[in-house]
Amino acid sequence: MHPLISTEALAVALDGAEPPVVLDVRWRLGGPSGRQDYEVGHVPGAAYLDLDTELSSPPGAGGRHPLPDPAALQGVLRAAGVREGHPVVAYDAGDGSVAARVWWLLRWAGHPEVAVLDGGFAAWTAEGRPVDADTTAPVPGDVVVRPGGMPVLDADEAAAFTRDGTLLDARAPERYRGETEPVDPRAGHIPGALNAPTSGHTADGRWLTAPALAERFEAIGVAPDRPVAAYCGSGVTASSVVMALELAGITTPDAPAPLYTGSWSQWSSDPSRPAATGPNPG
């Protein structure tokens, strides 16, 4: 399944005999919960999943958004109607990076039939497509979570990756440079990492074309002969970097870019780990 689906294609699919499962994952850093927006209106038939409580484990040694427990994730996905071998479409209200977490997480869980709605909820409503406020629970699914479908890095592996590969930091430039740090213990970035802000993957809410993404990554410093991995603040928005690399043709579904799941929230909480500041990798 292609990582992206257009609003037009989703509308057609929802009118078909076997519509996809649609997951609304609207979320705001610091709240309030996106569930409030969902209850006001959402893509017809969509189920809401909360990033903080359903798509992550509680914050702790693994960072602010550690990977969820596989058994707990299986229960969450089944309650949302996710079925074995059946397509899933995720959307958010921003640049697609939270929906990309769902794309990454389902593939990690062994369910590759998943796509992100290009343009998200904003594009859907801007086109005058139907919205409803029905919060009836879907028919439970039967998905089986089989973790390990996507490669991950721990802190030591992320540090080592900068020696032989390209580690991309998905955060905003001012956080990468260490000029501000609104949520994590220390400012800066992992020494050797390059900045690839998630905001650069899209334009006017839509994902860039494959050639445009490839050109962007080349300008950042991604080389075809070096492996590439990604991290961000808490392992969420870096999922969109992994997805963008695949869209660009730099990686493939069979060999995706690894994700440092603990990301800066875990790295910066360990005083023994160095932090670089400024515009250069360090």
Strands 88-91 and 206-207: unpaired
Distance CA 82, CA 217 (A): 33
Q: Please name the residue that has the structure tokens 């996710």.
A: 82
Do 170 and 239 meet the contact criterion of CB atoms below 8 Å apart?
Answer: no
**Residues 232, 238, 245, 275: which is the catalytic one?**
232
Q: What is the DSSP letter of 281?
A: -
Distance CA 100, CA 42 (A): 18
Using DSSP's 3-state secondary structure scheme, residue 213 falls into: helix
Q: Bridge-partner residues for 40, per DSSP?
A: none
Distance set, CA 4 to CA 37, 79, 89, 186, 278 (Å): 23, 24, 9, 35, 34
Rg of the chain's alpha carbons, rounded to an integer?
A: 18
The answer to whether 232 is a known catalytic residue is yes
Catalytic residues: 232
